[in-house]
Amino acid sequence: MSKVFAFHGGIHPPENKKQSTRAPISKAPVPDKLVLPMQQHIGGPSLPLVKVGDTVLKGQMIAEPISRISASIHAPTSGKVVDIAEYPIPHASGLSAECIVIEADGEDRWIEHQGLGDYKQLKRTDLIEHIRASGIAGMGGAGFPTDVKLHLSEDHIVNTLIINAAECEPYITADDMLMRERAHEVLGGIEIIAHILRPSHVLIGIEDNKPNAIHALEAVLKHTDLNIDIVVVPTKYPSGGERQLIKLLTDIEVPSGRIPADIGIVCQNVGTTAAIYRAVHFGEPLISRIVTVTGDAVRHPKNLEALIGTPFSTLLEACDVRPEALSKLVMGGPMMGVTVENDQIPLIKTTNCLIAATEHEMPAAPPTQACIRCGMCEQACPAELLPQQLYWFAKGREFEKAKHHNLFDCIECGACAYVCPSSIPLVQYYRFAKSEIRTEERDQQKADHARQRFEARQARLEQEAAEKEARRKARAAEAAKAQSQKTAVQSSEAAAPETAAPDAKQLKTAAAVARTKLKKAQKAYDEAAALNADNLAELEAALNEARSKADEAEKALASSASSGSEGGDDQSKQLKIAAAVARTKLKKAQDALKNAEDKGLDGVDKLRATVATLEQKANEAQQAYEKAEASGTDKAPVEVDIKALKQQVSIMRTKLKKAESAIDNCEDEADKTRLGQEVEELKKRFEQATAQFDKAEQVLVERAAQAGIDLKQLRIDAAMARAAVTKGERSLSKAESDEERSQIEQDLVAARSKAEALNQTLSQYE
């Protein structure tokens, strides 16, 4: 048996618990319509997953959490979503909020669901994820999403798990009855939580006014191998407050502004443990809960297991309400509960009690009298505050002082207001002060943000101005530099075609010469054939020779023409010349040979040998030249190809599209097959072309990269430079004063030269 410690203050209001523990827990009827608020928990509201008109099954997730601290919501019964709109919710504000309304079909058909089996084999994160997907939030009243608390062992050392079974508020017996009737579910849930958090010690804190529940728990605890202690604490409100219970059981105080996990403690409500048990062992999400329906205005106060979303009116009717006697409807306990104005408000995950009170039972508070600082509130305060001082500060709007007197450690338990002889609604004053302070702080934050933004903007404007000035200076310098560069480039440009042009001319001439030669050779052959000359074979060979040469010359011309100004270097030029020389020599020799042959001269044999030698030489020279050309102009073919390839790719694409649309339009089956084949063919070709293009482009980019230039960046720069020029021209036309104009002109010159330089660089690589 663990020792019980004490917390300061506390009160002993009339318990009023006996009324609702006489009957066992019974099932509440399924209402025709269920209203499910999207916010039943602390944190972000859930996001609906269904639309109006959807059919849902019992247990189907209909809203998902949108943030870390949020909970999913499931359909409590099967039916149809008939509305997603704002409805009154059970909240102190009395406001409306988004709700999903389900019209029950009466079949109560479950979605397929099953338990996790041996959950100890699962990864703990998966287990927690399952609990999150089951929409479980703290069922003691606050509704903090349970999975968030279960994750605490990741960054906290959890020594002690405290199960809050104190249920200290008057009237409420939902946890009491749960423990009496379903102690094994409570234990099962504790085992799951203990498996996840691995505490060294589990404490169940329970008030001594629940002997039956204590017996039931003791009975099931015999079968567990966990280190669980039931700690019976004296009945005193608010011993069920998380911080008060921790103090009672461990004598440790949770530091102000921190959470219990910071001191190695995690608290879970006993109702939550049962919900976890059902979620893990049966796969049932949180769709119902036990609620105490009590108060003098119901004839049969008892605990009901009701579906989430059941309107209060259904619950009240199930307990035989006397409408004429009902004066106040309280959701929760009389100390911290919320009154509701409307009995159509639905039951939510945190609704542990519904008190239908008569006027006699909960009379209106007597008129407030002056505070005489009697200090009774101070003796009752479980947080050891000075409630009377806080009251004076709140009333006098002295919020700094209220904060200094630890207003924010107030848990709003209502003990001070309960004992106040002057009937001062103290808790309301604290709520007012807290919200005022929060508003002030928000305003202060907003003002701070605005100031920071303004300061940042000022700094940015100054920086921009400085940068602009620096850029202007840089541009002027660059303009001068670019001007000199431009002249250099122009001169080199002018030089390039001059050297390249002769080459092309030469080639052209060579080609023409070769063609003429071919013609001549043809003619000679024809004549010889007509004369039936004996050297016909030789002439034929010469003719073939001439033909191949002509072909070669043509090829060379073609390649040179396409390579443009990117002609060969010095070596290839020399080689070309050498080849040409060799050809000329050959030609002369051929002419001499022909002449000799025609005339039947003696030196024919000799000449023939000379021609053969020369031919060989010419061939060698040509080959050497071609080889050099091929190696020297490696770049050229790629550059040429890129545009052509691009074009080809686009052509192929268009063709392909056309062919495809033709297929679509075609009705004849045979045609279709044929077209299909064509399309296949086109596709292949398109792919080939694309591949080629990609390859070529890749080469291009690589080459540019080798030169240390980012092609993309270059393009962007060039475009910007052009835009700058356009802008400059425009502003020049608008400029009024001469001074301004000359300034702009200067800028424009610089911009133009920059743009040109960039364009040139770009054109080199494209």
Partner 1 sequence: MALIRLSSPHVYKANSTANVMRLVLIATLPGILAMTFFFGWGTLIQIALAGSLALAFEAAILKLRKRPVGFFLSDGSALVTAILLAVALPPFSSWWVTATGIFFAIVIAKHLYGGLGNNPFNPAMIAYALLLVSFPVEMTRWTSPMTQNGGGWQIASFADTLQAIFGSVEASWYDSFTGATPLDALRHRGALTTEELWRSSDVLLNGVGAWYAVSAAWFMGGIFLLSRKIFTWHTPLSMLIALFLTASAFYGFDPDNYISPMVHLGVGATMLGAFFIATDPVTSATSNRGKIVFGALLGILIYIIRTWGSYPDAVAFGVLLMNLCAPFIDQYTQPRTYGHSSANRGMKGKN
User: Which residue, 145 or 170, is less far from partner 1 as judged by CB?
Assistant: 170
> Taking the CA of residue 246 as centre, how many other CA atoms within 13 Å lie in the half-sphere pointing to its CB?
20
| Cis before 238 (ω within 30) | yes
Smallest gap from residue 102 Cβ to partner 1 (A)? 25
> Taking the CA of residue 155 as centre, how many other CA atoms within 13 Å lie in the half-sphere pointing to its CB?
4
Does 329 sit near partner 1 (CB under 8 A)? yes
Rounded Cα gap, residues 59 and 127, in angstroms = 18
Closest alpha carbon to 625 in 494, 510, 515, 728: 510
Smallest gap from residue 314 Cβ to partner 1 (A)? 15
Spell out a b/e string for 435-462, using b for 16 or more CB atoms within 10 Å of the CB, else e: eebeeeeeeeeeeeeeeeeeeeeeeeee
| Per-residue x/- track, 335-354, partner 1 (CB under 8 A) | xxxxxxxxx-----------
| Selected range binding partner 1 among 119-127, 321-329, 535-543, 667-675, rule: CB under 8 A | 321-329
User: Which residue, 336 or 524, is less far from partner 1 as judged by CB?
Assistant: 336
Does 254 sit near partner 1 (CB under 8 A)? yes
| Per-residue x/- track, 383-402, partner 1 (CB under 8 A) | xxxx-xx----------xx-
Find where tokens 């031919």 sit: 615
Q: Which of 255, 396, 497, 603 binds partner 1 (CB under 8 A)?
A: 255
Smallest gap from residue 223 Cβ to partner 1 (A)? 37
CA angle 330, 335, 338 (to 5 degrees): 35
Which residues 415-454 are close enough to bind partner 1 by CB under 8 A?
A: 417-423, 425, 427-428, 431
Does 406 sit near partner 1 (CB under 8 A)? yes
Phi, psi values for residue 548, rounded to 5°: -65, -40
| Selected range binding partner 1 among 118-126, 136-144, 324-332, 693-701, rule: CB under 8 A | 324-332
Which residues 356-375 are close enough to bind partner 1 by CB under 8 A?
A: 357, 362, 365-367, 369-375
Rounded Cα gap, residues 256 and 405, in angstroms = 13
Is position 168 annotated in a ligand binding site? no
Q: Which of 59, 138, 414, 728 binds partner 1 (CB under 8 A)?
A: 414
Smallest gap from residue 98 Cβ to partner 1 (A)? 21
| Per-residue x/- track, 215-244, partner 1 (CB under 8 A) | ----------------------------x-
Smallest gap from residue 328 Cβ to partner 1 (A)? 7
Is position 371 annotated in a ligand binding site? yes
User: Which residue, 313 or 522, is less far from partner 1 as judged by CB?
Assistant: 313
Smallest gap from residue 372 Cβ to partner 1 (A)? 5
Find where tokens 């430079």 sit: 721
Find where tokens 């002889």 sit: 421
| Selected range binding partner 1 among 113-121, 275-283, 377-385, 703-711, rule: CB under 8 A | 377-385
Which residues 704-763 are close enough to bind partner 1 by CB under 8 A?
A: none
Closest alpha carbon to 140 in 116, 111, 176, 110: 176
Find where tokens 């100890």 sit: 120
Helix (DSSP H) and strand (DSSP E) numbers for the chain = 20, 17
| Binding-residue total with partner 1 (CB under 8 A) | 77
| Per-residue x/- track, 268-307, partner 1 (CB under 8 A) | ----------------------------------------
Rounded Cα gap, residues 11 and 414, in angstroms = 10
Does 142 sit near partner 1 (CB under 8 A)? no
Structural contact between residues 610 and 618, judged by C-beta atoms closer than 8 angstroms? no
The Cα-based distances of 114 to 189, 282, 284, 745 in angstroms read 17, 5, 8, 81
User: Which residue, 437 or 720, is less far from partner 1 as judged by CB?
Assistant: 437
Q: Which of 378, 597, 626, 717 binds partner 1 (CB under 8 A)?
A: 378
Is position 319 annotated in a ligand binding site? no
Helix axes 174-181, 270-282, angle to 10 degrees: 50
Helix/strand/coil for 645: helix
Closest alpha carbon to 65 in 142, 140, 136, 160: 136
Rounded Cα gap, residues 190 and 198, in angstroms = 11
Smallest gap from residue 14 Cβ to partner 1 (A)? 8
Rounded Cα gap, residues 581 and 601, in angstroms = 26
Which residues 165-224 are close enough to bind partner 1 by CB under 8 A?
A: 170
Find where tokens 């050229």 sit: 636
| Per-residue x/- track, 60-99, partner 1 (CB under 8 A) | --------------------------------x-x-----
Q: Which residues make up each annotated binding site for [4Fe-4S] cluster?
A: 371, 374, 377, 381, 410, 413, 416, 420
Q: Which residues make up each annotated binding site?
A: 371, 374, 377, 381, 410, 413, 416, 420
